């Protein structure tokens, strides 16, 4: 790469659009050599957002390449100017979009693909209007001035940390254009969702698109900033505003430095600036890897010893083991943090585009020696070439080779320099970054005799598409054989039927098969004389859920009611589920709620509670602790509903009803729910640091998933010390997102409540109690604490706040010092801010408070930190490690993990000095 001094690029003072640049003479080959001064346009505004009355309002057609190069034609579609009616009333109502796109997540956020027929008809390069879109939330609204001032901050473990503007990137590094196919990891997920619902929404087979991306090689930028030897990962962060922080992910630094992998920082596609949906003004482009690695609206790059800690780096783009169900993946977070399940390179895949779904041809009127040209696409990952595509007309018993064309290879035969595209030179590259196309001439006679057309492909590593589906909880990387069913109609015509239709569109042989009670993952397309054209697997397995086995086979032990109440049974927390007895002590160490949550049901029938909140995986684990069958039934405790209210409200053994009397909005997704206790002067009876179980039955609605199900979860009340007659709970509602389409089961149930509705409470529960006078009880063992650090994120403030109150409102304790680090996205998200500030002013020598904001909008007078929690932040704003000191953490799992890791590095003992709520 030439140094900045070797290559000076000239920039006009005003912005140039492609039409203005194309109107000026292009440099000759001699003038465009790397050592000479050349002309490149300054950053320009997306044509889709240019108003008709704008002086450059005609600049909406992509700048083409010279026809003499004999390259695939750049799409000539004009950028959309109109606002789709489906976007009206959403945060994206300002973005022009093509109404032909199939929306996969309702109105918002915008996740969409073209119809496969429309996509394939465009050829090698996809116009931006039909390029698939994967958004996790609202698109950042970036105007022309913001784009001109856009900054890319590169920092971390490098010798030359730098902030680049777009013009800096264009002037300091070689500008290149490379054809790249991007593919969503969820491509063809609808097929998996028909078999069994995954955690993701239903992509069809058009979650794939190709464009000419213009920008600079990431490897050149990394050479400029000089990574340090201990840097292992490179972390990328976008500028979007999501509930758990901006989208971010990381690459292995060794891969990013390898120019053969082609990673780019790009500002244009197909000769025009990036559209808002595609990352304007700057994005990362990672060829041959899943689309989720190509971060849009790129604003920050960090070199680190560790991989990205962004929420969606862990909670997305994984292929979990097939035995892990969706419920289990949602409930058991450790699966998401196992590095073995991360996806980087694409797998080998192919699909049939012609014939289209529901296409009908008349075979009876055509000679048998006539052919129908079957067409489709194929791709592979890691820069590997697809080496063969095979087509079968007999359900995979025999295969024939299809013809393959590689339009990408045309770019390997030319070198060119252009004022818009920069250098176009792939002559020394053998990596395959794009899809290829295949065709197969199938005789009409074969179509008449067949019941399906099946395709599979292989890449140069000999990776082959499998016959059977590998179902996973995320539904990603689905690449089993692509099959099109052939149905013979009564009039001699044939109708083709694809496996699924994207999104909520009806149709497809897989859903038809499932509706018939058959197994859509095991189709048999062999001829069936009794039902021409139908799938012949009527003897196949029924699509019914299997009952989870929760008992040990052959265990015939009988347990009496007397034994259930014995000292041994109490010590080991025996409990009953569906008439079977289990030893609860086996769960003490691993249960998320700790031993006390199990002791709550010792000696009782816990069927209702257990079945309401545990996944099928947890039910299966129950078999390991099965000790026998109960003789008789556990009698319910005598009701005291008619007794006058007295004493504390909570009962550790009995669910008790409370009535919702008020709902107060705190922020966009947080609310305070006030529930009335039995008596106006009644205390709740909850020690500081402990929680209550809340149980409710979700309301039945026409759209609710899991209608009427019973759900429960532990919460920490917001109520102050000495509050009587009510309990306040601060709840953050987890609405459905693209990453978790079903949202939070419990919080959505709470969001449906109206004043006058009831829920049930039980408790206290938890392994931590602040007893007062500087004494904490952890798992039943008391510990004197002189200084305590409390770290929280978002609504995690609620248990932290209770402990803080327990310390600072204790008249018998004037010594214990408290440090709080509270992280939120925006200033408005800081919960209990006024109370925290008041406690700071009232206890200046004992209480130190520090905030950090991770969002993009920071108040001008902000005096605290900006960004996620770092080791330096914890070192500065928490007590130093030592005897009689503790740190308590409550927040998202990813935050708890990273904070605990930092604390261990600082010197805190995770087994004795760190408590996770």
Which residues line the annotated binding site for Mo-molybdopterin? 184
Contacts of 301 (CB under 8 A, 6+ apart): 152, 153, 154, 155, 156, 234, 235, 236, 237
Say how many C-beta atoms besides its own lie within 10 A of residue 563's C-beta. 17
Distance CA 204, CA 507 (A): 12
Distance CA 494, CA 388 (A): 28
> What are the distances in angstroms from CA 46 to CA 79, 142, 272, 673?
9, 10, 7, 45
Distance CA 129, CA 96 (A): 9
Q: What is the DSSP string of 568-637?
A: HHHHTTEEEETTEEEEGGGGTTT-TTHHHHHHTTTTSB-HHHHHHH--HHHHHHGGGGEEEEESS-PPPP
Q: Which H or E element spans position 388? A: strand 386-392
Q: Which residues pair with 729 in a beta bridge?
A: 673
Give CA angle at 120 (351, 79), nearest 5°.
140
Has 316 been annotated as catalytic? yes
Structure token pair of residue 373? 């040209």
State the residue for tokens 């996809």.
126
> What are the distances in angstroms from CA 632 to CA 115, 279, 550, 566, 578?
61, 65, 19, 16, 12
Give CA angle at 886 (884, 892), nearest 5°.
175
The conformational region for residue 265 under phi > 0 = left, psi -120 to 50 = alpha, else beta, is: beta
Is the Cα dihedral 823, 827, 831, 837 positive or negative?
A: positive
- Indicate the Cα dihedral angle 640, 644, 647, 648, nearest 10°: 60
> What are the distances in angstroms from CA 899 to CA 226, 235, 336, 342, 792?
28, 18, 17, 22, 10
Q: What values do phi and psi take at 149, rounded to 5?
A: -100, 10
Structure token pair of residue 68? 């003499």
Structure token pair of residue 33? 């050599």
> What are the distances in angstroms from CA 628 to CA 278, 615, 624, 655?
59, 22, 11, 27
Structure token pair of residue 680? 């106006």
Is the Cα dihedral 521, 527, 533, 534 positive or negative?
A: negative
Has 418 been annotated as catalytic? no
Q: Which of 80, 184, 436, 485 is catalytic?
A: 184
Distance CA 792, CA 878 (A): 12
Q: Which H or E element spans position 400? A: strand 400-401
Q: Which of 737, 734, 683 is nearest to 713 (CA)?
A: 734
DSSP state of 65: P
Is residue 89 within 8 A of residue 108, CB to CB? The reply is no
Distance CA 816, CA 786 (A): 5
Distance CA 593, CA 612 (A): 15
How many residues does this entry show for the chain? 917
Q: Which of 317, 349, 478, 537 is catalytic?
A: 317
Has 890 been annotated as catalytic? no
Q: Which residues pair with 630 in a beta bridge?
A: 559
Q: Which of 92, 316, 416, 605 is catalytic?
A: 316
Distance CA 455, CA 121 (A): 19
Query: Max CA-CA distance within the chain?
Result: 99
Active centre residues (catalytic): 184, 316-317
């Amino acid at each position: 790469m030439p140094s900045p001094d070797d290559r000076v690029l000239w920039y006009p003072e005003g912005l140039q659009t492609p039409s203005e640049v194309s109107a000026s003479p292009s440099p000759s080959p001699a003038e465009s050599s790397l050592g000479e001064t050349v002309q490149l346009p300054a950053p320009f505004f997306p044509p889709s957002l240019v108003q008709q009355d704008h002086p450059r309002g005609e600049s909406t057609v992509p700048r083409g390449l010279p026809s003499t190069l004999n390259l695939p034609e750049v799409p000539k579609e004009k950028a959309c100017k109109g606002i789709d009616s489906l976007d009206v009333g959403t945060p994206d109502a300002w973005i022009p979009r093509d109404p032909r796109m199939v929306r996969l997540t309702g109105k918002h956020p915008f996740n969409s693909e073209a119809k496969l027929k429309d996509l394939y008809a465009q050829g090698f390069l996809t116009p931006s209007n039909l390029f698939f879109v994967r958004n996790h939330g609202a698109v950042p609204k970036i105007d022309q001035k913001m784009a001109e001032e856009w900054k890319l901050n590169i920092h971390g473990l490098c010798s030359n940390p730098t902030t680049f503007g777009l013009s800096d990137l264009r002037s300091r590094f070689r500008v290149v254009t490379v054809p790249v196919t991007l593919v969503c990891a969820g491509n063809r997920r609808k097929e998996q969702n028909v078999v069994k619902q995954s955690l993701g929404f239903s992509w069809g087979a058009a979650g794939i698109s190709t464009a000419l991306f213009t920008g600079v090689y990431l490897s050149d930028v990394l050479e400029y900033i000089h990574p340090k030897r201990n840097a292992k990962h490179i972390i990328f962060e976008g500028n979007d505003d999501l509930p758990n922080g901006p989208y971010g992910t990381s690459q292995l630094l060794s891969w990013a430095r390898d120019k053969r992998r082609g990673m780019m920082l790009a500002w244009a596609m197909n000769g025009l600036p990036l559209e808002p949906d595609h990352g304007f003004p700057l994005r990362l482009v990672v060829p041959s890897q899943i689309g989720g690695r190509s971060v849009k609206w790129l604003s920050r790059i960090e070199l680190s010893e560790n991989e990205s800690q962004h929420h969606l780096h862990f909670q997305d783009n994984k292929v979990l083991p097939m035995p892990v169900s969706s419920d289990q993946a949602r409930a058991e977070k450790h699966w998401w943090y196992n590095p073995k399940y991360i996806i980087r390179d694409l797998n080998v895949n192919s699909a049939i585009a012609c014939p289209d779904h529901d296409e009908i041809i008349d075979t009876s009127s055509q000679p048998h020696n006539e052919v129908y040209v079957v067409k489709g696409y194929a791709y592979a990952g890691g820069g590997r070439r697809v080496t063969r595509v095979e087509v079968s007309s007999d359900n995979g018993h025999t295969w024939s080779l299809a013809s393959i064309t590689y339009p990408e290879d045309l770019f390997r035969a030319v070198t060119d320099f252009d004022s818009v595209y920069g250098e176009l030179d792939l002559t020394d590259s053998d990596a395959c970054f794009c899809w290829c196309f295949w065709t197969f001439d199938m005789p009409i006679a074969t179509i008449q005799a067949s019941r399906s057309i099946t395709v599979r492909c292989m890449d140069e590593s000999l990776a082959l598409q499998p016959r059977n589906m590998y179902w996973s909880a995320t539904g990603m990387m689905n690449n089993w054989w692509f099959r099109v069913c052939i149905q013979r109609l009564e009039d001699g015509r044939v109708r083709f039927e694809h496996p699924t239709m994207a999104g909520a569109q009806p149709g497809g042989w897989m859903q038809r098969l499932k509706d018939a009670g058959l197994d859509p993952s095991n189709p048999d397309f062999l001829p069936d004389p009794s039902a021409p054209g139908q799938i012949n697997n009527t003897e196949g397995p029924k699509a019914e859920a299997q009952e989870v086995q929760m008992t040990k086979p052959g265990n015939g032990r009988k347990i009496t009611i007397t034994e259930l109440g014995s000292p041994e049974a109490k010590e080991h927390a025996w409990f009953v589920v569906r008439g079977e007895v289990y030893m609860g002590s086996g769960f003490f160490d691993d249960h998320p709620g700790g031993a006390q949550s199990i002791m709550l049901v010792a000696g009782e029938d816990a069927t209702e509670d257990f079945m309401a909140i545990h996944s099928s995986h947890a039910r299966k684990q129950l078999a390991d602790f099965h000790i026998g069958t109960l003789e008789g039934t556990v009698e319910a405790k005598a009701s005291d509903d008619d007794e006058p209210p007295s004493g504390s409200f909570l009962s550790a053994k009995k669910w008790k009803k409370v009535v919702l009397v008020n709902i107060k909005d705190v922020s966009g997704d947080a609310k305070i729910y006030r529930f009335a206790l039995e008596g106006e002067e009644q205390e709740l009876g909850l020690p500081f640091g402990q929680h209550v179980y809340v149980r409710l039955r979700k309301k039945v609605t026409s759209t609710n998933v899991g209608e009427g199900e019973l759900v429960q979860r532990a919460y920490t009340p917001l109520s102050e010390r000495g509050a009587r007659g009510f309990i306040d709970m601060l709840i953050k509602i987890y609405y459905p997102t693209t990453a978790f389409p079903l949202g939070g089961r419990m919080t959505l149930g709470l969001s449906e409540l109206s004043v006058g509705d009831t829920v049930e409470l039980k408790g206290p529960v938890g392994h931590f109690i602040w007893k007062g006078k500087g004494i904490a009880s952890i798992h039943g063992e008391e510990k004197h604490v002189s200084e305590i650090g409390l770290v929280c994120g978002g609504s995690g403030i609620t248990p932290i706040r209770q402990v803080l109150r327990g310390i600072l409102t204790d008249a018998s304790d004037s010594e214990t010092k408290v440090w709080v680090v509270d992280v939120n996205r925006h200033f408005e998200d800081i919960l209990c801010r006024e109370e925290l500030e008041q406690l700071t002013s009232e206890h200046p020598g004992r209480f130190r408070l520090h905030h950090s904001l991770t969002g993009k909008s920071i108040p001008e007078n902000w005096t605290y930190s900006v960004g996620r929690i770092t080791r330096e932040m914890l070192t500065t704003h928490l007590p130093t490690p030592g005897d009689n000191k503790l740190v308590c953490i409550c927040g998202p799992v990813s935050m708890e993990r990273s904070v605990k890791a930092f604390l261990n590095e600082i010197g805190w003992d995770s087994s004795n000095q760190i408590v996770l709520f």
